[in-house]
Amino acid sequence: MDTLLQQLINGITLGAVYALVALGYTMVYGIIGLINFAHGEVVMIGTMVAFTVIVSLAGSAMAPLMILGIGVAVSVVVCMVLGWALERVAYRPLRHAPRLTPLITAIGMSIVLQNVAMIIWGRNYITFPPMIGKHIYEFGGASFTNVQIAIVTLAALMMLGLIYLVHRTRIGMAMRATAQNQHVAALMGVDIDRVIAMAFIIGSALGAVAGCMVGSYYEIAHYQMGFMLGLKAFTAAVLGGIGNLAGAMAGGLLLGVIEALGAGYIGDLTGDFLGSHYQDIFAFIVLIIVLMFRPSGLFGERTGDRA
């Protein structure tokens, strides 16, 4: 029983990490229906920038939490600029291009960002300095740390914040209008370019925060870390219904829990015929089954006629 509880805790933390990244995908997708494939790389840059700032400040007299705060702040700003630049350079000129065109520029951008990061931060794995002293808590035979609590809380807060932003503020209203119909929104006086740029900036800021959390949780960073993370987060976003903020959260958590339980129990379920090496298969099969019955994801709208 305590094993199951521990697996659930593992899964929820992992899921919250996915959700944090997935929110960035969904934010952009919800508004212009574009998969920002380079988002994983934005997260990676976020981690790397925070790492550089934290390491260079680590010797100073500031409190560790303060240093972490500055690191996050700088990385958020850098990523916002990066997100804005991405949109400006790679996506805006292609807004009326065939659907797959921005997908290829996104792939191109992620190759560029990876190699830039490799030139700046080198090829080696980097130890992300732990700024928060880790406390291990025990509960019913299962253990978890304060960093895990922080990640889950933060993911929930960010989702709520975004929902507030989208549904209760002026810019949010403009975003929703743009998502519905760009032309009509423009006629109503919405500055489409600005709204879309905002979506990218916000999404990238979220990516930066996610990157910092991923960095402090696993305490490791590498210039290729964005790819797998982005892929899983993208899967999570689709699972929840891409474009839907609550869906990204739900999809992330679900994917995380499926992976943990899959790795933990798939062997017992199949009499050790399939082991934890089939963990990802398990996740993808659940995804396929969900999409067979709900072709637009768990929370997605049923209209999704975007082919």
- Please give the residues from 263 up to 292 whose contact with another protein meets the rule CB under 8 A: 263-264, 267, 273, 275-281, 284-285, 287-288, 291-292
Q: Is 104 in the site for another protein (CB under 8 A)?
A: yes
- How far apart CA 195 and CA 29 sit, in angstroms, is 13
Q: Which two tokens stand for residue 90?
A: 């790679």
From candidates 56, 66, 85, 115, binder to another protein by CB under 8 A: 115
- How far apart CA 28 and CA 3 sit, in angstroms, is 38
From candidates 164, 231, 269, 301, binder to another protein by CB under 8 A: 231
Q: What share of the chain is helix, strand, coil (3-state, %, to 5)?
A: 75, 5, 20
The minimum distance between CB 303 and another protein, in angstroms, equals: 10
Q: Is 6 in the site for another protein (CB under 8 A)?
A: yes
From candidates 56, 127, 181, 270, binder to another protein by CB under 8 A: 127
For the segment 14-43, give every residue that binds another protein (CB under 8 A). 14, 17, 29, 35
DSSP 128: P
- How far apart CA 209 and CA 33 sit, in angstroms, is 23
* CA count, 13 A, side-chain hemisphere, 209: 21
Binding-residue pattern over the window 167 to 206 for another protein, x denoting contact by CB under 8 A: ----------------------------------------
The minimum distance between CB 231 and another protein, in angstroms, equals: 7
Q: 198 to each of 145, 172, 208, 212, 230, how far by Cα in Å? A: 34, 10, 15, 21, 21
Q: Is 244 in the site for another protein (CB under 8 A)?
A: no
For the segment 56-95, give every residue that binds another protein (CB under 8 A). 89-90, 93-94
φ/ψ bin of 297: left (φ > 0), alpha (ψ from -120 to 50), beta (otherwise): left
Number of residues that bind another protein (CB under 8 A): 86
Q: Which residue's CB is nearer to another protein, number 61 or number 292?
A: 292
From candidates 136, 168, 187, 302, binder to another protein by CB under 8 A: 136
Q: Is 101 in the site for another protein (CB under 8 A)?
A: yes
Sign of torsion, CA 190 196 201 206?
Answer: positive
Phi, psi (rounded to 5 degrees) for 297? 80, 175
Q: Which residue's CB is nearer to another protein, number 225 or number 248?
A: 225
Interface stretch with another protein, choices 11-19, 72-80, 156-164, 196-204 (CB under 8 A): 11-19
Q: Which two tokens stand for residue 276?
A: 């934890």
* CA count, 13 A, side-chain hemisphere, 128: 26
Q: Is 108 in the site for another protein (CB under 8 A)?
A: yes
Interface stretch with another protein, choices 54-62, 67-75, 107-115, 186-194 (CB under 8 A): 107-115
Q: Map tokens 């210039």 to a residue.
A: 223
Helix (H) / strand (E) element for 91: namely none
